[in-house]
Amino acid sequence: MRSLFCLLAVLLFGASPVLGWEYWGGDRGGQRFSPLNQITPDNVGNLVRAWEFRTGDLDARASELMKRTKFEATPLFVEDSLIFCSPFNEVIALDPGIGAQKWRYDPKISTAQRPANRYVCRGVAYWVDERAAENAPCRTRIFTGTNDVRVIALDARTGKPCADFGTGGEIKIDLGMKLEWPGEVQITSAPVIARGVLVVGTAMADNRRVEAPLGAVRAYDARTGQPRWSFDPLVHDGVTAGHTNVWAPMSVDEARGLVFLPTTSPSPDFWGGRRPGNNEHANSVVALRIETGELIWSFQTVHHDVWDYDLPAQPTLARIDTGEGQRDVVIQPTKQGFVFVLDRDTGKPVWPVEERAVPQNGAEGEQLSPTQPFPTHVPPLMKQSISKDDAFKLLPFGPSPCEKLLGDLRNEGLYTPPSTQGTAVYPMTGGGVNWGSAAFDPVNQILYANTSHAVHVIKLIPREEAKGFSPPPGHDFGRQDGAPFAMSRAVAMSPLGLLCNKPPWGEMVAVDLKAGKILWHSSVGTSEDLAPLGMAFSWGTPLVNGLAITAGGLAFTGAMDAYLRAFDAKSGRELWQGRLPVPGVANPMTYLWKGEQYVAIGAGGHSEAGTSIGDSVVAFRLARLREGPSLWSHTIDRPGGRFASKAIAAVIVLIALVALAWRWRKRRRLRTA
């Protein structure tokens, strides 16, 4: 029956079901939906670990170097292989059934460059040259961008460089200006290809300077590597300073010949006095003609951004029933938790978007927009304001440090401007929906997304004070050269290392787009791999990564703890957990190999979040006949389980927390006296 529904989806909604995972987002439009239905809510408890592959980075690299990595890659299933990239841009092909290495390519990037966004590679791109002979070398290609700003083309079957692409299989991007250091600009997300044109964006260091490196998106001939066009996402009119780039994953519509860019905020993030106006094409979904770079349309989600509310998520291309007929749309989730739904041909909102007044009185020299766009039909995926009453308190009595911290900040709700006093930015600059992006079920017209819930404290530091400023532990510091203020940024946390806002800190959300209705929220992740004694409090964890959904009725995701999880897509109930060697802060994927459905995820941890670090890809499948239960997975549809075994540890730690709180209150009384 589910297979019939998938066929109907193809006819009615334009979905393109495949049995593999040929693109970083599942398909060209990033739906992250698979028509595979072998694994269901009824049998997901029978999943066992099929194999684990280690890249070897953990053994081959210095521990200090590994502390600067983020393993965020999603494997592709192409050419009877799983193909992915390591944080150091090594491209590896595996046997899908046993996880054995088939080939490997090492671009030998320099590890002395210290990239601004850490060593990271979210994925590679696959392309078939239909003009080439069936067995010609490099008829099928893997493209990857690197941390040292190269684009490399490899034969998808052998891993050998494509000699006819660029120079010896690679091109070095000319950034047009001298960098402050070699890692100031890098490529972190997979390129996209359509109509023989390869498009790549770049990531760059935030908050270093107003005149940051040019953030142009560049296009190349996918066969030869010859430049085709470049597009500067920020309109420079002789007055506007700063630059905007595209670090997040892009999408393409092959039939229309369009590429969709999610653009960033202009430099620097938190003061925009030298870039007056709305800063056109920044913080926008931009549609370009992929063969020429011609601007077709642009829709801005934030005017004159001073909150680092850039677009981190891949634009999701879908066909939806709006209630007035079916339309091809672009669905763009944001860090604020908004969901903008735009007509794919014109960029106009499918449902009304209102301009609403927002807080004013920014820092000296600032020129804020008086209004910001708010979608009216699809509700926000998460709460968008916070007060000291929302402070997380382990104990029900007495004041808490978080109440004081939140109470001392400037806080007038969403879009409160940065200040020298210190401003509460909620959702945080890495909150809402991040690079993991959303998933869309074309059969049931439901959007799924992971969201992060935390508060950032943003403080502007006058230039004179910034000269000798030394940021406290846990604080980012940005010089913002060329602006009258530097900045500091920190996640609002208690002295015990807990987030200051009440849990959950990470949720999966399901939305009925047609009805404009949130169907359910479900907390994702526990404190097991972060808290003392492995206590598994179900508070959720921040979720920068995304999810994969299947026609079998499941949503799979990782979190900041070391589990791959399966949720019932209809109800949001968590059904199963598969243990990973370290957290899988990457997007999962699923594929069919020799009649069996597998689910795989990169498990390398996340140094920026302070998790344990690893170098694995892990795959699960249903248990075979007479195959025993796996020690690495279990269902959680009954009370107790592994959490009950840690009850004693939880009691011990709670007693310790009470004692700490009592001592803190006693010292506070003495200071007051």
Full set of structural domains in the chain with CATH = 2-189+316-672 (2.140.10.10)
DSSP 479-500: --BTSSEEEEEEE-B-TTS-BS
- C-alpha triplet 453, 26, 629: angle, nearest 5°: 80
Q: Which letter does DSSP use for residue 36 in this model?
A: -
Give, rounded to a whole angstrom, the gap between the first and last alpha carbons of the chain: 73
> Tell me, what's the pLDDT at 583?
97
Tokens of 273: 């006095």
State the Cα–Cα distance between residues 250 and 458, nearest whole angstrom.
29
Residues paired with residue 125 on neighbouring β-strands, in sequence order = 143
Which residues of the chain carry a pLDDT beneath 50?
Answer: 1-17, 638-649, 652, 662, 664, 666-673
pLDDT score recorded for residue 323: 83
Residue 673 has a pLDDT of 37
Q: Is 635 strand, coil or helix?
A: strand
Residue by residue, DSSP assigns 230-256 as EE-SS---SS--------SPPEEETTT
Question: What is the C-alpha separation between 25 and 545, in angstroms, rounded?
Answer: 12
The verdict on whether 305 is a catalytic residue reads: no
What's the pLDDT tens digit per position in 533-552? 667 889 999 999 999 999 99
SS3 669: helix
Which residues are registered as beta bridge partners of 61? none
Residue closest to 312 by CA, chosen among 205, 454, 434, 427: 434
User: Residue 480: which region, alpha, beta or left (left: phi > 0; alpha: psi -120 to 50)?
Assistant: left
Give the length of the chain. 673
CB atoms within 10 A of CB 302: 25
Facing residues of 121 across strands?
Answer: none
Catalytic pick among 308, 441, 529, 615 = 308
Q: Give per-residue pLDDT as tens, 336-370.
A: 999 999 999 999 999 999 999 999 999 999 999 99
H helix runs in 107-209, sequence order: none
d(CA 414, CA 266): 19
pLDDT at 260: 98
List beta partners, residue 333.
339
- Which H, E and C letters describe 204-232, residue by residue? ECCCCECCCCCCCEEEEECCCCCEEEEEC
SS3 per residue for 430-455:
CCECCCCCEEEECCCCEEEEEEECCC
| C-alpha to C-alpha distances, 444 to 39, 320, 574, nearest whole angstrom | 18, 10, 20
Name the residue among 353, 521, 343 with its Cα closest to residue 449: 521
8 A C-beta contact, residue 282 and residue 234: yes
pTM of the model: 0.93
- Cβ atoms 522, 574 nearer than 8 A: yes
Largest CA distance in the chain: 86
Do residues 295 and 230 lie in contact, with contact meaning Cβ atoms separated by under 8 Å?
no
All residues at 6 or more sequence positions from 359 whose CB lies less than 8 Å from its CB, including other chains: 412, 413, 415, 416, 417
Q: What is the pLDDT of residues 24-39, one digit of tens each?
A: 999 999 999 999 999 9
Q: Could you tell me if 565 and 524 are in contact, meaning their C-beta atoms sit under 8 angstroms apart?
A: yes
240 contacts 203 by C-beta, under 8 angstroms: no
